[in-house]
Amino acid sequence: MIPIWIDLQVRGDDRGSLVALETGRQIPFPIRRVYYIFGTKPGVVRGLHAHRKLRQMTFVAQGSCDMLLDDGRNRVSVRLDDQARGLMLDRMVWHEMSNFSPDCVLVVVAETEYDAADYIRNYQEFLRHVHPSHS
């Protein structure tokens, strides 16, 4: 169930640190897209959707934020504040990101190119997908 964390190897030397993300190693799906969210204004909540098919993994390259995960049965809030850990964002998980530090750079690797049709942006509709017998 949620949350699923992936520990990343930090390769450091006297110059600083480096983390690598590779398909089939740290990332359990083919990477077709990478995007990053930064400069988030105070008080902003992002996300507020689920994906029908898309799997993603999220990381903070810098700073911190909170991630609420909701699979329609359980709801958990976790903090992303460690560059050496990634959080799995599975398909059909409602997610909301908040409490961004001013320096936060949230990196997301995704299994497919951007597809607006894959989004469920209405929470009640999301619940109907998760619990079809209740609708």
Closest approach, Cβ 72 to ligand TYD, in A, equals: 18
- State the residue number with the nearest CB to ligand TYD: 46
Looking up tokens 């929470």 gives 123
User: Which among 89, 16, 21, 84 has a CA at the least distance from the CA of 53?
Assistant: 89
46 binds ligand TYD (CB under 6 A): yes
91 binds ligand TYD (CB under 6 A): no
Region 16-45 residues binding ligand TYD, contact defined as CB under 6 A: 33, 35, 37
Chain-centroid distance of CA 59 in Å reads 7
Nearer to ligand TYD, 33 or 128 (CB): 33
Separation CA 16–CA 68 (nearest Å): 31
- Using H for helix, E for strand and C for coil, what is the string for 93-106? CEEEEECCCCCCEE
Nearer to ligand TYD, 6 or 48 (CB): 48
Q: Enumerate binding residues for ligand TYD (CB under 6 A).
A: 33, 35, 37, 46-47, 49, 114
